[in-house]
Chains A and B, each alone.
Chain A
Amino acid sequence: MRLSRQLLLVGLLVLLLPVAGVRWVQEMELTFREQQAHVLSASLRAATASLSQRQLLPQPVEAKGAVYVQPVGVDLVMDGYFEDWQAQNLTSRIYIEDGSEAGNMNPAVQFSAATDSANLYLAFKVTEDKTVHYNPVGVPLKNGDRVQLFVREDNRMERYTIVTEAPGQVVARTVRPWNSINRIVRENRIRGVWRDIHGGYQLELVMPLAMAGEQLGFTVISGATEYWAGSVGPGEEPGALILPDRHLSRTLEVFLEDDMRLGILDSAGWQIASTNSSGFTHSAKQEEPFWLISWFYRAILSWNQLPDYQNFWRSGGWQSSPLSSALDGQPVTLWQRKNDRYRLLASWPLVKDGNVVGALIAEQGSQAVMSLASRSFNRLFSLSFLAIILVSAGLLGYASWLSFRIRKLHRATEQCIGRDGRLRTSFPASKSSDELGELSRSIAAMVTRQENHTEYLRSLGSKLSHELRTPLAVVRSSLDNLAHEQVGEQGRVYVSRALAGADRLGGLLNSISEATRLENIIADSAMSSEWERIDLRLMLEDLFQAYSGVYPKTHFNLVNSSEACETSIQPELVVQAMDKLVSNAVDFCPVDGSVTLHLAKSDHHIVVSVENDGPLLPGTMEGRLFDSMVSVRTTRGEKPHLGLGLYIVRLVMDAHSGTVKAENRRDGKGVIFSMIFEGE
């Protein structure tokens, strides 16, 4: 992994910053919510006390059979359709006689009751298998589908039956004893519309609220099966009629706060008073933060654990709400989630003479929480974003700088020592005082030491040859002098052998120092202007003739370039290199083989190559062929061979900024040595 990436990874630790910030915001949000719940509870308690003082607490009611009436602001149209009910957000309850066997045998009733404080509206939607209309000829009021209403009037239980011979306007009927005869009397105060629907019928009734009194019960009886369903069974007392308490509602409005709704439940969990929902704004006027931030804080706030909001205000029956725990004397506060807002719900038991007679319930929005969270979030978000950007950029820049320095060091190290182990350029030691600088300096020191050693090794040969020259001179001059002395015939032979040996030793010493001297010449001539523009084609022709003369036993070929190959070279050096290559080629060329001189010109290069039949290059020597003192010769020739020839070729080509290449010929029967000059 690259250093910059490693540092970037380390830089990711900066992300802890927003994480910590998020944690902080979460804590803050929790605290704030707790505080709000606390405040709400406190105000509920105060309201409870106040209500209790004003003697406004509701009466305890019996839950069983109670009929709950919802408040409605407008007149409902008697037409047998319930669209206007639904428009007023009136809800219905389903009555099914429990304990009966198959559910579809008896009618299922969807019942709603509403009041506009003058009239009581009732709506029945009865589902049954078969609709049977009233038959006037049958048992009076006791055949066909019918709805019975039980109303307490003048301390007497009246039973009204609604039947119809055909769908349409209906009026309640009752049986009244009159002169000891039971007569069917129409009660015009209870009227409505009966409408048959598929799989049952719908009945809409209206009656004066005053007539309904405090108790109301209803039973729906199926004409086909005589099964029933309703709030009151046969022979039972009808339950209480639970009416909305408008006075109480108005009283509650005193306690209202911003974005708040209050209500009072009776002991059965029915909502008997509630403040208007109009002042209770669900739509916030709060500014929406940037969607990303908004999404972000919704994602991280303790939002998802909250239960979904359930609107009990509409149905009025809070029995299944968690708030109903207050009816057991237990104050409750809880948060719920509605769309994208918090709702705080709270209830407080209303206690009268030690008994719980109801509960005060409240719902409050949490604009404050949200706006606070969002504000903190905005700030947190932008600050941490800024911090992350700055730190990342800083780290990245630092890493780049660091890796730039390391790369520079790397490059300098790579470049400073060439393939042949020589110092090409001086190593640029860094001056900086950190570890990298130290590394750079120690590499520089190492390179210098290495260079000294290399220099020593390199000059060893030439030094050695200098040192050996003196004793050689002693030997040679002694032998020369000896030639003038009287020595026997045999002695002359020995003298001549010794002279031959001394000559050979002298030749060796010359070869050893030849490379060094050539380097000196190259270094010397690189500065002077020994460069000439030469047409290599003509030069190669000359060379071809020369070599043919010099090596008469070898067959030479010339494959010359078709165009002029003028380039700037130091001809003496190039010829010297050619001499070495051709000498090698001739040495390795078998008797019946040939040596070919090539010249080829491409767009960028001029290639002079010497090709000869003969043994292939040994694979192990690859890349070292052109080093000093490397020889692949296995047989000992007459002349000493030190492996300096190809080294000299390389030195020459280095001086010409060219390259030298040795390869086997494609047919595997010869080798090609090429000198490649860069074109101009």
Chain B
Amino acid sequence: MICGKSGLSCSCWKLQACVNLCGLSGNAGLIKMPRHIAIVEDEPDIAANYRDAFQRYGYTVSHYSDRPSALAGFRLALPDLAVIDVGLGDEVEGGFDLCRELRSQAPTLPIVFLTARDDELDVISGLRLGADDYLTKDISIAHMMARVHALLRRVDLISQPKEKEDVLERGELVINLDRMSVSWSGQMVDLTVTEFWIVHCLARHPGQVRNRQQLMDAAQTVLDNNTVTSHIKRIRKKFQAMSPDFNSIETAYGMGYRWSSR
């Protein structure tokens, strides 16, 4: 297994997370067949680069350049994870359609959108369709790998309960780091990986303010302030959907956000 002692040039905290991840995937990967990742991308250069990167990490990769061929491939064999571009050739929203169809075939299959489009609306509609994450194309390969690992790990752990899990409890919030799942008052909160890392980053040290850069680093993505803000917004909404008086994520004006220490 080629693991992430690699050139992941990130902060100390991230490095720690990364080592953690690699270790886990190493455990799982030893006993499992190589993971199969489907890349649906109409840009051959990007597809080739990602394919190379994934292959370097030990994944098998299938590349489809349009929706029909991807669907045909999925009918033959479902991948373990799909990375889908939103715009596929002439189909401007072909990725969304593909996601919908794929989701109907495999409800738990991790789907990651990888796209040049970063409109808030696209992000929202993509996530609504059941994608697990939404990444813009200028994300570094290392960041993407971290996500893919995380997603796969989550799928694995959901299907294979472990006896002792790495759990972080903050009042009603319970973060299962192994499963990468979050629950509030015993109910699962459906968070994307990015959102998960943001919540984790905040809740790890309640009361400490995390600025946007820190949150971005935690989520292993390059986002601008607005995107962080909208992520926070979405996280709050998800929690508020379960508990309307949720206000644990506080805004420290000009600085960032903090998890309420109460």
Contacts and interface: CB of A to CB of B under 8 A. Distances in A.
Q: Do A and B come from one complex?
A: yes
Interface of A: 462, 466-467, 469-470, 472-474, 476-478, 480-481, 483-484, 502, 506, 509-511, 513-514, 516-518, 520-521, 524, 530, 539, 542-543, 545-547, 549-550, 571-572, 575-576, 578-579
A575 B254 contact: yes
Contacts of B225: 514, 576, 579
Given A470-B116, A473-B46, A481-B52, A542 B224 contact: no
B116 A467 contact: yes
B115 to A, nearest CB: 8
Given A572-B229, A579-B254, A521 B120 contact: yes
Nearest to B209: A546
Q: Which 5 A-B pairs have the closest CB atoms?
A: A546-B254, A473-B137, A477-B49, A469-B116, A480-B141
Given A473-B137, A513-B118, A514-B225, 19 more contacts: A466-B116, A469-B136, A469-B138, A470-B43, A478-B49, A480-B53, A480-B142, A481-B49, A481-B52, A481-B53, A510-B224, A520-B120, A524-B120, A539-B253, A542-B254, A543-B254, A546-B252, A578-B253, A579-B225
A571 B255 CA distance: 13
B118 A517 contact: yes
B45 to A, nearest CB: 4
A578 B255 CA distance: 12
Contacts of B251: 571-572, 575
Given A572-B229, A578-B254, A477 B7 contact: no
A127 to B, nearest CB: 120
Nearest to B223: A510
Interface string B230-261: 10010000000000000000011111000000
A571 B229 CA distance: 11
A521 B138 contact: no
A575 B216 CA distance: 18
B116 A549 contact: no
A547 B253 CA distance: 10
Interface of B: 6-7, 43, 45-46, 49-50, 52-53, 56, 116-121, 136-138, 140-142, 222, 224-227, 229-230, 233, 251-255
Contact of A476 (B7, B140, B227): B140
Contacts of A539: 253
27 contacts: A469-B137, A473-B46, A473-B137, A474-B45, A474-B46, A476-B141, A477-B46, A477-B53, A477-B141, A478-B49, A483-B7, A510-B222, A511-B224, A513-B118, A514-B226, A517-B118, A517-B119, A517-B227, A521-B120, A521-B230, A545-B254, A547-B254, A571-B251, A576-B225, A578-B253, A579-B225, A579-B254
A520 B116 CA distance: 17
A576 B256 CA distance: 11
Contacts of A473: 43, 46, 116, 137-138
- Dominant secondary structure of chain A at its interface with chain B: helix
A546 B255 contact: yes
Contacts of A549: 255
B138 A509 contact: yes
Contacts of B252: 542, 546
Central interface residue in A477, A524, A543, by most chain B CB within 10 Å: A477
Nearest to A482: B49
Contacts of B116: 466-467, 469-470, 473
Contacts of A517: 118-120, 224, 226-227
A514 B228 CA distance: 12
A121 to B, nearest CB: 127
Contacts of A546: 252-255
B58 to A, nearest CB: 13
Central interface residue in A470, A506, A511, A572, by most chain B CB within 10 Å: A470
A626 to B, nearest CB: 19
Nearest to B138: A506
Nearest to A572: B229
A549 B50 CA distance: 40
Contact of B119 (A520, A530, A545): A520
A478 B45 contact: yes
Contacts of A476: 138, 140-141
Contacts of A484: 6-7, 56
A520 B136 CA distance: 18
A613 to B, nearest CB: 21
A469 B136 CA distance: 8
Contacts of B50: 477
A474 B85 CA distance: 14
Nearest to B232: A572
Contacts of B7: 483-484
B141 A481 contact: yes
Central interface residue in A467, A524, A571, by most chain B CB within 10 Å: A524
Nearest to B224: A510
Given A484-B56, A513-B118, A543 B137 contact: no
Contact of B224 (A472, A514, A550): A514
A244 B67 CA distance: 138
A478 B117 CA distance: 20
Contacts of A520: 119-121
Contacts of A478: 45, 49
A571 B252 CA distance: 10
A347 B152 CA distance: 137
Contacts of B53: 477, 480-481
A477 B222 CA distance: 14
A554 to B, nearest CB: 14
Central interface residue in A476, A530, A547, A571, by most chain B CB within 10 Å: A476
Contacts of B140: 476, 480
A539 B230 CA distance: 20
Given A470-B116, A476-B140, A521 B226 contact: yes
Contacts of A467: 116
B118 to A, nearest CB: 6
A478 B49 CA distance: 6
Contacts of A474: 43, 45-46, 49
Nearest to A517: B226
A576 B159 CA distance: 42
Nearest to B120: A520
